[in-house]
Amino acid sequence: MIAVALLGLAALASTMTYTGFLVVGVLADYLGTGRVIAGLLLAGLFARFPWISNGKLRIVGLLPKPARRPLIVGILALCLLNFLWRGEYVPAGFTGFALAFLLTYPWLRRAIFNRMVSSVYKFTGQKPSKSTDDTVIEGEFKEKKD
């Protein structure tokens, strides 16, 4: 089972690497530059660096966190449409797979994590909490009499 999981992860990593190569090539073509310059521009756009402010370690980047995923989805969609327009179906398949994986990753991560947690709770004899909504904050409030 571990070998199958490692093989799947290696296939996923190689697919994502090849998709990155394709994306850099398409962006270099659109910008009229070489692959190195296009790759450096993407690296500068998505890079994050450690930063210490007010005694706390933070990670800062050029793009804010909520803007990263939509920008990556937009770039992948642009590349997918470019490959479909040119009639290059194999690169379009790789780009489409990467786009589908990027869009379904939060759901997959939540599903796998919930399954792992439920199996651990079965083993320990505890019951997992029913609340899986991360946006709900539970708290207890007491009124103070004046």
Domain ranges of the chain: 1-47, 66-122
For the record, the structure tokens of 130 come out as 């029913």
pLDDT at 131 over 60: no
78 burial type by CB count under 10 A (0-12 exposed, 13-18 middle, 19+ buried): middle
Question: pLDDT value at position 101?
Answer: 93
pLDDT band at 145; cut points 50, 70, 90? confident
Confidence (pTM): 0.71
For the record, the structure tokens of 146 come out as 């004046």
Q: Is the dihedral of CA 57, 63, 64, 67 positive or negative?
A: negative
Question: pLDDT value at position 103?
Answer: 92
pLDDT band at 54; cut points 50, 70, 90? confident
Across residues 123-127, what is the average pLDDT? Answer: 59
pLDDT band at 113; cut points 50, 70, 90? confident
Round to whole Å and give the CA distance between 138 and 146.
26
